[in-house]
């Protein structure tokens, strides 16, 4: 039997984090969970630490560290803040980045700089820091495997390619989108959607931020940027098609017209297991399909006028530089404001669009420049919301 591989699970208490734990429970000999982090969720962290005998934990602040210390005792080492995430993310064979939002940046950068396998759910760090990630992923041993289901599908479909990045034999990457809870809705109807409407995703159960992003199609826009950064394919070769059943998780169209797709029922444990298991596959059929029960697969064009987030993302991609970081940062602020009841659903993307109107072309060549741009876009979004 091959030796067990160590896992650092950052964002262990969230939706992807808990599903990763489910995969690890099934494979106690193949993997050893050695470190976890989870914002300020100290009780959940202490329960996970006890079950998996984890001795190294990260939390967001000193207050959470003190509370956690009382729960886990002196044998457990506790790390704090983004520096803590860096320490944890450079000391395991496989680092799972399941942190929510831009806060996942230290995990992505530290794991790749240390030459680790990065199993990446946190798309925001890759999108914002694409030029910096491109450099650190050259570190010997460093590799990014995508947990995001569409990109995991593309990773599998690209195994048919006979070329390398940027894949000259690929005509198109075709990202599928469920269309979210508001597929087919008119602009007038969209003007009055509530938080509960937006949180009711038809096919996936996920954390609140990505659920709202799915309702605006900003998630798909971010995924266009993610695909381009991951696979080195310019965005004009990345298409989006709405596929309400969420069974075809994405496709690659080759220059000879062949289309290779990956299919399963929607279940994030499948892409998680894929990213942990490579170069082999784990023997658990998550999301297994039944082709005899009237499975129907339909596809349609996205409504770009009712869901302008998609074109905003393409525009940010064409700008390059700090534009994707601005888009993602402004969106984080607006989604949080919507969840807090401060703005309407349509104002989310309208506000992001107003922020992008103020974008001045800027390159990103260091973390400090990225942090400055992230802060600038957040300030602009907050100022518009406060008006
Ligand atoms: P979630 O909100 O359920 O969990 C987020 C985790 O990050 C929690 O453990 C939380 O404690 C931690 N966290 C939040 N803010 C933090 C901070 N400031 N510092 C440190 N830790 C912090 O989110 P999720 O739905 O699991 O999504 C996580 C990431 O995976 C996101 O980037 C999302 O886009 C991506 N993703 C999720 C899904 C899904 O099915 N949930 C699918 C594809 C991609
Ligand atoms: Mg996705």
78-110 residue pLDDT tens: 999 999 999 999 999 999 999 999 999 999 999
Residue 62 CA, distance from chain mean position: 27
287 and 167 both lie in a single domain: yes
Contact 236, 225 (CB under 8 A): no
Query: Which ligand is in closest contact with the Cα of 154?
Result: 2
**pLDDT for 349 beyond 70:** yes
Q: What is the CATH number of the domain that holds 352?
A: 1.10.1740.10
Q: Which atom of ligand 1 is nearest to the CA of 12?
A: 9
62 and 101 both lie in a single domain: yes
Distances (CA, A) of 327 to 193, 236, 387: 23, 18, 20
Q: What is the CATH number of the domain that holds 48?
A: 3.40.50.720
Average pLDDT over residues 132-147: 98
pLDDT value at residue 2: 65
The pTM for the full model equals 0.98
307 and 159 both lie in a single domain: yes
Write the pLDDT tens digit of every residue in 263-317: 999 999 999 999 999 999 999 999 999 999 999 999 999 999 999 999 999 999 9
**pLDDT for 32 beyond 60:** yes
Q: How high does pLDDT run on average in the chain?
A: 97
233 and 373 both lie in a single domain: no
Last residue of a domain, one of 127, 146, 165: 146
Find all residues with CB under 8 Å of 199, minimum gap 6, and list them.
Answer: 208, 211, 212, 215
Last residue of a domain, one of 281, 297, 314: 314
Last residue of a domain, one of 146, 177, 199: 146
Determine the number of helices (DSSP H) and then strands (DSSP E) in the chain: 17, 11
212 and 274 both lie in a single domain: yes
18 and 131 both lie in a single domain: yes
pLDDT value at residue 201: 87
306 and 324 both lie in a single domain: no
Average pLDDT over residues 349-357: 98
In angstroms, what is the span from residue 268 Cα to ligand 1's centroid?
A: 13
* Range of lowest pLDDT (191-205, 301-315, 316-330): 191-205
Residues with beta carbon inside 6 Å of ligand 1?
11-17, 38-39, 41, 60, 98-100, 103, 121-124, 148, 204, 206-207, 210, 268
107 and 213 both lie in a single domain: no
What's the structural domain count of the chain? 3
Average pLDDT over residues 347-360: 98
266 and 340 both lie in a single domain: no
* Residues, Cβ < 5 Å to ion ligand 2: 148, 150
In angstroms, what is the span from residue 150 Cα to ligand 2's centroid?
A: 5
pLDDT value at residue 1: 52
Find all residues with CB under 8 Å of 232, minimum gap 6, and list them.
Answer: 165, 166, 167
> Which residue range(s) make up the domain with 228?
147-314
Task: Specify the long-range contacts of residues 284-287, CB closer than 8 Å, at least 24 apart.
Answer: 284/23, 284/26
**pLDDT for 180 beyond 70:** yes
**pLDDT for 8 beyond 90:** yes
Which residue's C-alpha comes closest to atom 18 of ligand 1?
Answer: 103
pLDDT value at residue 204: 86
201 and 128 both lie in a single domain: no
40 and 151 both lie in a single domain: no
136 and 161 both lie in a single domain: no
Per the DSSP assignment, residues forming a β-bridge with 120 are 97, 146
**pLDDT for 14 beyond 60:** yes
- Best mutation site among 154, 206, 214, 270 for ligand 1 pocket (most ligand atoms within 8 Å of CB): 206
Find all residues with CB under 8 Å of 79, minimum gap 6, and list them.
Answer: 37, 56, 57, 58, 59, 85, 87, 88
Burial class (CB in 10 A: 0-12, 13-18, 19+), 298: exposed
């Amino acid at each position: 039997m091959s030796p067990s591989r160590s896992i650092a699970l950052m964002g262990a208490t969230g939706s992807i984090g808990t599903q990763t734990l489910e995969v690890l429970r099934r494979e106690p000999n193949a993997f050893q969970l050695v470190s976890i982090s989870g914002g300020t969720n100290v009780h959940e962290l202490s329960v996970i630490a006890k079950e998996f005998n984890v001795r190294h934990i990260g939390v967001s602040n000193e207050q959470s560290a003190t509370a956690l210390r009382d729960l886990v005792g002196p044998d457990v080492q506790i790390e704090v803040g983004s520096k803590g995430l860096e320490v944890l993310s450079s000391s395991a064979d496989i680092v799972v980045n399941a942190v929510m939002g831009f806060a996942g940046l230290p995990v992505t950068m530290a794991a790749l700089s240390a030459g680790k396998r990065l199993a990446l759910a946190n798309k925001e760090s890759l999108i914002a820091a694409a030029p910096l990630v491109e450099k650190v992923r050259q570190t010997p041993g460093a590799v990014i495997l995508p947990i995001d289901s569409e990109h995991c599908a593309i990773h599998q479909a690209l195994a048919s390619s006979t070329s390398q990045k940027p894949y000259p034999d690929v005509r198109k990457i075709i990202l599928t989108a469920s269309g979210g809870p508001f597929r087919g809705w008119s602009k007038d109807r969209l003007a009055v959607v509530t938080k509960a409407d937006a949180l009711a995703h038809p096919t996936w159960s996920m954390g609140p931020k990505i659920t709202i992003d799915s309702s605006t199609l900003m998630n798909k826009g971010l995924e266009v940027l993610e695909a381009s950064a991951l696979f080195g394919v310019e965005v004009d070769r990345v298409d989006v098609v709405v596929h309400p059943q969420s069974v075809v998780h994405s496709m690659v169209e080759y220059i000879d017209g062949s289309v290779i797709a990956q299919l399963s029922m929607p279940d994030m444990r499948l892409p998680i297991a894929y990213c942990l298991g490579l170069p082999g596959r784990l023997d658990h059929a998550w999301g297994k399909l039944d082709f005899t029960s009237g499975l129907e697969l339909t596809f349609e064009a996205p409504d770009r006028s009712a869901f302008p987030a998609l074109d905003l993302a393409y525009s940010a991609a064409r700008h390059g530089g700090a534009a994707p970081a601005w888009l993602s940062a402004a969106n984080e602020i607006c989604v949080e404001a919507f969840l807090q009841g401060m703005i309407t659903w349509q104002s989310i993307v309208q506000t992001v669009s107003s922020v992008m109107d103020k974008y001045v072309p800027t390159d990103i060549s260091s973390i400090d420049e990225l942090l400055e741009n992230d802060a600038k876009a957040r300030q602009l979004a907050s100022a518009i919301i406060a008006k």
